Amino acid sequence: MEDEVDRLVAAWRRERPDLDVEPLEVLSRVSRLARHLDRARRTAFAEHALEPWEFDVLTALRRAGAPYQLSPGQLLTQTLVTSGTMTNRIDRLAGKGLVQRLPDPDDRRGVLVRLTQGGQERADAALAGLLDHERAILGELSPSQRDDLAALLRQLVAPFDNLAD
Amino acid sequence: MEDEVDRLVAAWRRERPDLDVEPLEVLSRVSRLARHLDRARRTAFAEHALEPWEFDVLTALRRAGAPYQLSPGQLLTQTLVTSGTMTNRIDRLAGKGLVQRLPDPDDRRGVLVRLTQGGQERADAALAGLLDHERAILGELSPSQRDDLAALLRQLVAPFDNLAD
DNA sequence: TCCCAGTATCTTGATGTCGAGACATTTCCA
DNA sequence: TGGAAATGTCTCGACATCAAGATACTGGGA
């Protein structure tokens, strides 16, 4: 089946026949698919009354394992936002009762952000919902195609992930 | 080589062994790769003193073919932003002399946005630079792997692209 | 012990985007 | 032909983000 990138590439071949636009076949599809996935995620989370950024923070804490707490600095590195943004996010999540701020007993400059019981439940439910949605999207592919795709993508991502960011 | 998604998946398997997190192997890699690509694009465009959003608008006009003009509404559907955002973008591009606003001769409500000579040159140069960068990223893969990857991604994207958006 | 560079977090101001609504013009239908 | 609905663009207010600087505390060397 044809997609928007096929149309995009055709337009460039018509307007710029001198250029090799083959890289777009892969990388434009990655970008466009990511945009669609963002929208799908937003929809999936709305069923649990969560914004994507809330999910990102809550699940980072959930993945940390009991007692489900991290410093703001650790959350920064996991979510790739700036410190000002994280302060704002923690404020709002604390206001909703999904996390609480605790003083770090070992460092009086520091703070620990801990998932509340309610926050953990919301995170767990939203993750399950997200995975259901994503399984539906991947229904287009056979199990072996999924494995192939994951392996190819890993090859492209790994150089970025293993570089000092 | 290992990547961040391998670590992410391992953490979930430890914390939520009851869940099947296999979809993340594909879709989290798509999202993360897209984020890395955004940063790489930003770097590539900076060599031509362009922001990503400027590139998006200028190349939409460039792809339209001579005389390189589209209505704001057509630009909306191609760039997936809202009308308020597009008005703002056109204002700034016009201020830099990269596009100009012309009254639509056929519809007095309407406006046509036309690429200037300078705008076209910037768009063409930035596209060539982007493709060079992207070719380097894809250097990890053989030609047949790229074809496979493009085909698998097309299968995932096509249902979104061919749905009323 | 004192000081100072380093670390951790929060505050502030600027920016770009979105969503809703305003306004002008066109199109469709009675 | 008259009027309502649709269309195309712009304006405005709210919001999340970022970058840079402010504030508070720690820890090692003189």
Supply the range of the domain harboring residue A13.
Answer: 1-46
Asked whether the beta carbons of residue A156 and residue B138 sit closer than 8 angstroms, the reply is yes
> Which residues, in sequence order, are CB contacts of B142 under 8 Å at separation 6+?
none
Strand D contact nucleotides, protein CB < 7 Å: 7-13, 16-21, 24-27
| Residue in chain A nearest B142 by alpha carbon | A152
Number of domain units in chain B: 2
Contact, A126 vs A50, CB < 8 A?
yes
- Which ipTM was obtained for this model? 0.85
Same-domain pairing of B33 and B59: no
CATH of the domain at B112: 1.10.10.10
Model pLDDT for residues B28-70, shown as the tens digit of each residue: 899 888 888 888 888 888 888 888 999 999 999 999 988 899 9
Same-domain pairing of A63 and A111: yes
* Residue among B41, B42, B161 with most chain A CBs within 10 A, to mutate: B161
Q: Determine, yes or no, domain membership for A164.
A: no
Sheet containing strand A99-103, edge to edge, reads: A69-70, A111-115, A99-103
Same-domain pairing of B28 and B62: no
Q: Determine, yes or no, domain membership for A34.
A: yes
Same-domain pairing of A99 and A115: yes
Strand C contact nucleotides, protein CB < 7 Å: 6-13, 16-21, 24-27
CA pair distance A156, B35, nearest whole angstrom: 12
Q: Cis omega before residue A17 (within 30°)?
A: no
Residue A103's beta-bridge partner residues? A111
Same-domain pairing of A117 and A101: yes
Same-domain pairing of B145 and B110: yes
Chain A, chain B: beta-carbon pairs less than 8 Å apart: 182
Same-domain pairing of A78 and A30: no
Same-domain pairing of A23 and A42: yes
Same-domain pairing of A62 and A110: yes
Q: Is the CB of A107 under 7 A from strand D?
A: yes
How many CB atoms lie under 10 A from the CB of residue A90?
A: 19
Model pLDDT for residues A95-150, shown as the tens digit of each residue: 888 999 988 888 888 899 999 999 999 999 999 999 999 999 898 899 999 999 99
Tell me which chain B residues have a C-beta less than 8 angstroms from the C-beta of A144. Answer: none
Same-domain pairing of A76 and A105: yes
Helix residue spans in A3-51 (DSSP H):
4-15, 23-46
Same-domain pairing of B15 and B95: no
Q: Determine, yes or no, domain membership for A153.
A: no
